[in-house]
Chain A
Amino acid sequence: MLLVVAHSRPARRDLRNVCRAHDDCVVRRFGRAALLSWTEFAAFQALRLHEKHGLDVQLERVVPFEPADVPDHVQEAADTYEDRDHPSTPYARFASGRDLPAPDEMRGADL
């Protein structure tokens, strides 16, 4: 999918207009962003906005994500932590002493 983010008021207005006029290519609308379908027509609309507003329009490619797309230890860390007994335990403390990755370890590792 295409993510279009408007960073200025005029860009936001035009994004809203595009979404209204072509909701067939809109997957989801947010305040000043929209997910468009991965089609030439959606790209055409996104590029029009980019052409008009330059860097005030941010375009990103968004790919689907599933839990299985991450390494097992990350998945396990998330599951175990969400299953903790004391909701107030911060993750860093929770992970130390268990066989779970430290927050900084995960921060430093690209997916």
Chain B
Amino acid sequence: MRLTVGGTTYEGRVVDLRGRAVDGATLAAAVRGDRCLPAVASADPPPVYDYCGHVHAAMGLRTRTALAAAGRSRGYETPHDDAIDELREQLASSDPDAPSLPSVRDDVSRSTLADQREAAATQRGRLEARRTLGVDTDAAEQAVREATRTLSERETERVAAEESRRRRRELARAYRDRLAERRQLADALANRQRDARECLVNRLHDRYVAALEAVPGSRPTDPFEASPVTAALAVLRIARTEAPVVVGTDCFADPTAAADVLDAPIIRC
């Protein structure tokens, strides 16, 4: 690895930054590529580093999850992997976003429409009456045209409002169907992932117990009750660790001992 801190460049399998006052969490983030400073050039860390990439006294650890990730770093597979990939793909291909709905149109009430029909009929009646009387019908004809036009406009508006309402309901329903489907997929995915994790943990159980023996720290009767630091070290010993591990505890005699036990590049800080 190659690491630059405050203008000084360090190279090698073990870098000791004690006395440089560099924050371990910052270094771990730089190793993961979440930060660009300090500059770290090293192999890309596998997901197990999300759990164990920074070993320090205040850390917590979901040991089984981390152990499963260690198995993954070694390329272990489970019978659930195909199903997991498929479910992930299905989730990724279903659109989680809410659709944009057509805007709400002012509805034309039935009574408005009835009034307008009546008005049009009245105007037609007037026109008929004037024709029968044989008097001037220009104004009356004009009134009939206007009333008829208004009526047809209102009818069109009403149809458009109904259509927009129907469309909004359809889109909303389809969206909610999609949400329900996504929830089912996410549940199924979580179940499969749990099964896969269990599979990996079972497979690694003996190696984990052996690794606990090899790393510093106390060993409880239940290996999964080991303290986070001890468990993390055991997990790291099992994992393929080509990227540097940030070690912030002094449980090893020196950083080189840590590199030997974990078989990993070490940044001691």
| In the complex, chain B residues whose CB is within 8 Å of the CB of A58 | 172, 176
**Interface size, A (range):** under 10
CB of B165 to closest CB in A, whole Å: 13
Interface of B is mostly: helix
Are A8 and B179 interface neighbours, CB within 8 A? yes
C-alpha spacing A47/B180, complex, angstroms? 22
The answer to the question of B33 belonging to the interface, with a C-beta cut-off of 8 Å to chain A, is no
| Residues in B173-205 with C-beta less than 8 Å from chain A | 175-176, 179-180
- The number of residues on chain B lying at the interface, defined by a beta carbon within 8 Å of a beta carbon of chain A, is 8
Within 8 A of B (CB), among A56-74: 56, 58
Chain A proximity of B247: nearest CB distance (Å): 38
Binding site secondary structure of chain A: mixed
The distance in angstroms between the C-alpha atoms of A77 and B77, with both chains bound, is 56
* Closest chain A residue, CB of each to CB of B179: A7
B99 at the binding interface (Cβ < 8 Å): yes
Contact between B172 and A56 (Cβ–Cβ < 8 Å)?
no
The A-contacting residues of B in range 90-124, CB under 8 angstroms, are: 98-99, 101
Q: Considering the complex, which residues of chain A in the window 1-33 have a beta carbon less than 8 Å from any beta carbon of chain B?
A: 5, 7-8
Chain B residues in the interface with A (C-beta under 8 A): 98-99, 101, 172, 175-176, 179-180
Q: Which 9 residue pairs of A and B lie closest in terms of their CB atoms, listed nearest first?
A: A55-B98, A7-B179, A7-B176, A55-B175, A55-B172, A54-B98, A58-B176, A58-B172, A8-B179
